[in-house]
Structure 1
């Protein structure tokens, strides 16, 4: 129904506007890998930040954070939403190691919430390990610049781990 709150009015004469979160660029495909390392049991925090950055650049965060709701089957944007959802799901699954991939391949983009619940429990032990590394770090003949860089890296990682990434 035209004007429905769940409908995204981004079509002009049957063509999806490139600024729409439902727009799929011709060069996009589901098996693209957009992170440096696949999701493993110990890489969730870094992995999620890379994926969020990529999805933000692609204007697709709304598909995983719940702000872009699935339209009714009769809505004009239903198929566009389904295509965008499948693309995001493909990107997420491709960026996971095989064991994690097999456990989520049959769910929609709610994969994100499932992954958050599954991996955020590992943040506290990781933060503790990082704090221990920070407490035992020594300059050991390295330059002040290198020592500061290593300290800063630990501080940033601790901060990132303690503030669970984008709780959706």
Structure 2
């Protein structure tokens, strides 16, 4: 019963420490698992999903472990939940290599360091894809969708070629 819970322990739904009753460690926040390719798209999809859950602050460094001892167990619970959501979207090989990371922030940084390195080869590949893209027999909407997808990925790399 909620009558027996002190009001100081009730967490507002806008608080990052709030977990909805439907939240559970086995949830899949994004439909396509990350297998080592397409990191930029996976990272963007995860950021959107975590933001929708009000948990993006756990991976972007805005919400570190609190100093208030009464809040630490709640923070640990949410941090563990975010870690499990991220691990659920990784291939078994990748998830096994980051299983023992202790915070969602460290996990996010580890994945970004390993797979998020912008490089000239990827930049070149996307530029070539953009140049080689032709409408052919596709309708305008399909062609524009393919063009926009490559263009957005190229912009997201944000690399200045040397």
Report the Cα distance in structure 1 between the residues aligned to 2:144 and 2:69, rounded to whole angstroms. Answer: 55
Report the Cα distance in structure 2 between the residues aligned to 1:17 and 1:143, rounded to whole angstroms. Answer: 48
What number of residue pairs does the alignment pair up? 152
Preserved contact between residue 124 and residue 162 of structure 1 (Cα < 8 Å)? no
**Superposed counterparts of 1:74-93, under 5 Å:** 75-93=69-87
Report the Cα distance in structure 1 between the residues aligned to 2:36 and 2:152, rounded to whole angstroms. Answer: 20
Per the alignment, do residues 85 and 138 of structure 1 end up closer, same or farther by CA in structure 2, a change over 3 Å counting?
Answer: same
Report the Cα distance in structure 1 between the residues aligned to 2:118 and 2:35, rounded to whole angstroms. Answer: 12
Q: Paired residue for 1:161?
A: 157
SS of match in other structure, 2:117: helix
Structure-1-length-normalised TM-score: 0.82
SS of match in other structure, 2:37: coil
Cα RMSD after superposing both structures: 1.8
**Cα distance, 1:122 vs structure 2:** 5.2
Per the alignment, do residues 137 and 14 of structure 1 end up closer, same or farther by CA in structure 2, a change over 3 Å counting?
Answer: closer
Preserved contact between residue 123 and residue 162 of structure 1 (Cα < 8 Å)? no
**Superposed counterparts of 1:1-168, under 5 Å:** 12-72=7-67, 75-107=69-101, 108-109=103-104, 110-121=106-117, 123-162=119-158
Per the alignment, do residues 61 and 145 of structure 1 end up closer, same or farther by CA in structure 2, a change over 3 Å counting?
Answer: closer
Report the Cα distance in structure 1 between the residues aligned to 2:12 and 2:135, rounded to whole angstroms. Answer: 54
Report the Cα distance in structure 2 between the residues aligned to 1:23 and 1:123, rounded to whole angstroms. Answer: 38
**Cα distance, 1:126 vs structure 2:** 2.4
**Cα distance, 1:130 vs structure 2:** 1.4
Q: Which runs of 5+ in 2 are unaligned?
A: 1-5
**Cα distance, 1:43 vs structure 2:** 2.0
Q: Which runs of 5+ in 1 are unaligned?
A: 1-10, 164-168
Structure-2-length-normalised TM-score: 0.85
